[in-house]
Homo-oligomer: A and B are copies of this chain.
Amino acid sequence: MYQADYLQSFVKNVFQKIGCPPQEALLASEVLISADLRGVDSHGIARLAGYVRLYDNGRLNPTPQVRVVYETLSTATVDGDRGLGLVVAPQAMRIAMEKAAKVGSGWVSVRNSNHFGIAGYHAMMALEKDMIGWTMTNAAPLVTPTFSLDKLLGTNPLAVAVPTRNEPPFVADFASTAVAYGKFEILQRQGLPAPLGWAQDAEGNPTDDSNAVKSGGGLLPLGSDREHGSHKGYGLGAIVDIFSGVLSGANYGPWVPPFATAGFMAAQAGVGLGTGHFLGAMCVDGFRPVEEFKDNMDRWIGAFRKARAVEGKQVIIPGDPEREAEVIRRQEGIPLLEPVVQSLVELAQRFELEFTVK
């Protein structure tokens, strides 16, 4: 087990070594480790070596000049100048929140960015101001839309954070696919098959091959097949892609560049700049007095908590599992898989940093 502070400090040092200014390296490390703390291991320190590889490939600018390229009182497009998505997205969210404070809501599309960590982190920034936060991002194409043999969409997540009174905040944060790709990587390491409904093979047939996406197959949209509504998961992923990519001037659809992990095709010639995000903030009191809203959110959550559940299960409020993971991991530490530890040891050697394997 590794303490969050220890890992965060290491991450910050690595980002500084590739040239990020101290304040930005600090923010990026906080966003990245928040994923590990919240139990979303696939989006945390496991990706640190990938960000460094982005830098090595010339696709990451450690000292970006993030700037607004279009705006109205409630909207803007931000160019991330090839900066770390971990830094660009919070800056864009701050702009959205400033607009919301002035005119009730703020909506910012982002181009020329890259992977921004967990969507929920950025949406949750809005909570401190009694705002509802929205986050979307597109991602490299791994997903076959309903009836498609070609991979045209990323796992394109959506996160929404809603303030509450005594209950913890409502935080929904989910990919628009049946499962995230990380679930396949776990099965691949264990040599296990995947449940039907997660992926299709190269001919579009249902498959339990956990390596299907590497051999011409694709991830399935939420809903899995047409009969169970996969066209809706496809529609949701498409909305995320259009808001993140087409609205901002980033790449979209099959043109979204891959994150710097090995194993997938190189980016095709682009139709825009980098990866795209979409972030928004809405003031609760633009709609209803804040205290009235929060009382009703607590009542909403209470009704769901009190629901009768299937034997041995309980009805989960979006955000509960991640919050509970954070309580445990802040106390007991963060478990890291052997390949992740190995990647950190290599980074430590390369950058002449200390990293103590536990």
Taking beta carbons and an 8 Å cutoff, which residues of A are in contact with B? 70-77, 102-105, 107, 109, 132, 145-150, 152, 158, 160, 162, 170, 172, 174-179, 195, 197-198, 203-204, 222-224, 227-229, 231-236, 238-239, 241-242, 245-249, 252-255, 271-272, 282-288, 292-293, 296-297, 299-300, 303-304, 307-311, 313-316, 318
Contact = CB atoms under 8 A, between A and B. Distances in A.
A248 B288 contact: yes
Contact of A229 (B147, B178, B227, B247): B178
A313 B296 CA distance: 46
26 contacts: A72-B105, A75-B104, A105-B105, A145-B315, A147-B309, A148-B304, A150-B307, A152-B303, A160-B239, A172-B235, A172-B239, A174-B229, A177-B229, A178-B229, A195-B228, A203-B310, A222-B232, A223-B233, A224-B228, A228-B228, A245-B300, A246-B296, A246-B297, A247-B293, A254-B303, A271-B296
A241 to B, nearest CB: 8
Q: A-side binding surface: helix, strand, loop or mixed?
A: mixed
Nearest to A69: B288
A104 B287 contact: no
A354 to B, nearest CB: 40
A146 B315 contact: yes
Contacts of A296: 246, 249, 252, 271-272
Task: Please indicate which of the listed interface residues A177, A238, A252, A314 has the most CB atoms of chain B within 10 Å of its own CB.
Answer: A238
Contacts of A177: 229
A103 B315 contact: no
Contacts of A70: 285-288
A179 B228 CA distance: 7
B73 A318 contact: no
A288 B247 contact: yes
A227 B195 contact: yes
Given A73-B104, A104-B73, A147 B315 contact: yes
A248 B282 CA distance: 13
B288 A253 contact: no
Contact of A75 (B150, B195, B283): B283
Given A72-B103, A223-B223, A242-B300, 10 more contacts: A72-B286, A73-B104, A145-B304, A179-B228, A204-B311, A222-B233, A245-B300, A246-B297, A249-B296, A253-B304
Nearest to A306: B150
Contact of A105 (B107, B170, B197, B232): B107
Contacts of A309: 147-149, 204
Contacts of A247: 132, 284, 287-288, 293
A170 B242 contact: yes
A260 B230 CA distance: 30
Given A74-B73, A75-B287, A103-B103, A316 B178 contact: no
A271 B228 CA distance: 33
B103 A73 contact: yes
Contacts of A316: 146-147, 231
